Structure 1
Amino acid sequence: MSTLYRDTAVVLRVQKLGEADRIVTLLTKRYGKIRAVAKGVRRTRSRWGARLEPFNHVDVQCYTGRSLDVITQCQTVDAFGSGVVADYSRYTAGCAILETADRIVSEEGGEPSLRVYLLLVGAIRALAGGERDSSLILDAFLLRAMSHAGWAPSISECARCAEQGPHRAFSVQGGGAVCERCRPPGSVTPSPETFTLLDALLHGDWDVADAAEPFTRRDTSGLVAAHLQWHMERQLRSLPLVERRAPERREPVTGGPHAG
């Protein structure tokens, strides 16, 4: 017997089905990740097909089907899509965020999926707002999502013996920061500023994160991506496409047109 239910959700991805339908993957607030059929939404007469696009935050009503649920109603809560797709760096970062959420959350729901849902809504809202560097938003989301999945890298203490840092070495395979005694072969030695930025992104200290230099942001992004993909055991398709664009910094003025 079919059951009708309603929830808020973020659209993670869509797939064509037949001539006019779509399969929509949604991360919902209460029911976790679901895949549902939206009938007729690819027709030009569809009243709500444009609402079921990636990045949008929607209120959906569905009923359970044999293999896939069926969407019967959809209302827009936040039209984040227009603010994200308008800028390439925000769009590519957003694609990596959606793909990560899709990979991390199972279709069983529960507390971890609720935390990722809330984290996802905040990240997409920040991207759509365009007031913060998209790379920082992406790396903060990845670190926090890994924390909810139990994969967060150790930053302030050794990942192997728990000795308090700060430590100089970082091992992706070893779980993050490692002391000199536990340091495995192949570890890297990020700058102290990189460890500071990792900690700031994980704990939401945006004053510190926004002040980070471009080279520190690049090094941090590399460690975050490597750590995530090590635990996922596969590469994110969207991550290599992310445009890492550091904010421009004005050079100090040393003289006027007649200087010298």
Structure 2
Amino acid sequence: MAIYTTEVLVLGVKNWGNADKIVTLLSPTYGKITAAAYGCRRPKSPLAASMQPFSWLDIQLSKGEKMDTVRQCEHKGFFSDLYEDLTAMAYASFIAELAKELCSEDEPQAEIYEKLLKILPCLTKFNPRICALASAYQIFEYTGCQLHYSQCALCGSKIEGDCHFDAMQGGVICTSCSQGKQINYPASVRLFIEHLLHLDWDNPPKFQVKGIDLINAEKILLDYIQSLIGKPFKSLTFIKQVTSLS
């Protein structure tokens, strides 16, 4: 039975059996890992405190035919502030769910992994809604299924002014290629998305955005996720429930 070690971020957990959990981990070296943490729901288990969402760990696992097994781990850090801010936690859950869907097993995911380590602390310091939106747009850039926002997806020309946007065609379509299709991608939305794509998580700048541009940028992203993944995100329901309370 092969044993390996790696650092990971815990993206999700679910109870399994009487005392176990199935955990979804993200490793910079091995990508997404699904593993069983046996006995971790017992209070005296050495894994009990670590097998929680958004734990940052050095971990040892053993390879299995269907699922790997967590053998032992050591905390590198824990984003505990998320557990004190329900809104930030809701948006963090969305980011984690997106990463789980987009990342593959046995494929290095160093860029997304490092990005998440910078994003998660920002959710409790800045507007979590905008942080989650920016992180989602940025994560897509590492997946191979990113869209075009500033250059025509069909001819490659630089976009100026208001245009048509069609995710199924690859993103924004210039006026020459859109052949009179509805203008649904205002320049203000394009500039906002460009800003999100280049947002520096080490030194996030202060900025303002119109509500309509924020809503349109969210719609573009969520419509694309729905068409790509083919199922609703559970975290979106969580976000709606939490924001309705505020």
TM-score (norm 1): 0.83
Residue 120 (structure 2) aligns with? 124
1:114 to 94, 110, 116: 110
Separation in 2 of the partners of 1:214 and 1:85? 28
Deviations 1:100-139 (A, max 9, x none): 11111111223xx222212222222322xx2211112111
Separation in 2 of the partners of 1:158 and 1:16? 46
Whether contact under 8 Å (1:104, 1:149) holds in the other structure is yes
Residue 23 (structure 1) aligns with? 22
1:139 aligns with 2:133: yes
Q: What is the Cα deviation at residue 153 of structure 1?
A: 2.2
Change (3 A) 1:187 1:225: farther
Separation in 2 of the partners of 1:69 and 1:184? 52
Residue 56 (structure 1) aligns with? 55
1:233 to 217, 230, 233: 230
Q: Segments of 4+ in structure 1 off by > 4 A?
A: 184-188
In structure 2, runs of 5+ residues without a counterpart are none
Superposed CA RMSD: 2.2
Separation in 1 of the partners of 2:229 and 2:42? 37
The structure with the largest alpha-carbon Rg is 1
Residue 168 (structure 1) aligns with? 162
Residue type at the aligned position of 2:90 = T
1:98 aligns with 2:96: yes
Q: What is the Cα deviation at residue 60 of structure 1?
A: 0.9
Deviations 1:200-227 (A, max 9, x none): 111226437x322333222211212222
2:208 to 195, 207, 211: 211
Q: What is the Cα deviation at residue 165 of structure 1?
A: 1.5
1:88 aligns with 2:86: yes
Separation in 2 of the partners of 1:57 and 1:42? 18
Q: Give secondary structure in 2 for the equivalent of 1:181.
A: helix
Whether contact under 8 Å (1:168, 1:178) holds in the other structure is no
Residue 250 (structure 1) aligns with? none
Whether contact under 8 Å (1:174, 1:184) holds in the other structure is no
Separation in 2 of the partners of 1:178 and 1:240? 32
TM-score (norm 2): 0.87
Residue 251 (structure 1) aligns with? none
Separation in 2 of the partners of 1:77 and 1:139? 27
Separation in 2 of the partners of 1:27 and 1:124? 14
Whether contact under 8 Å (1:7, 1:30) holds in the other structure is yes
Separation in 2 of the partners of 1:186 and 1:231? 23
Q: What is the Cα deviation at residue 187 of structure 1?
A: 4.7
Q: What is the Cα deviation at residue 17 of structure 1?
A: 2.2
Whether contact under 8 Å (1:26, 1:33) holds in the other structure is yes
Whether contact under 8 Å (2:10, 2:53) holds in the other structure is yes
Separation in 2 of the partners of 1:94 and 1:67? 28
In structure 1, runs of 5+ residues without a counterpart are 246-260
Identity %: 25
Residue type at the aligned position of 1:114 = A
Separation in 2 of the partners of 1:229 and 1:54? 24
Whether contact under 8 Å (1:167, 1:178) holds in the other structure is no
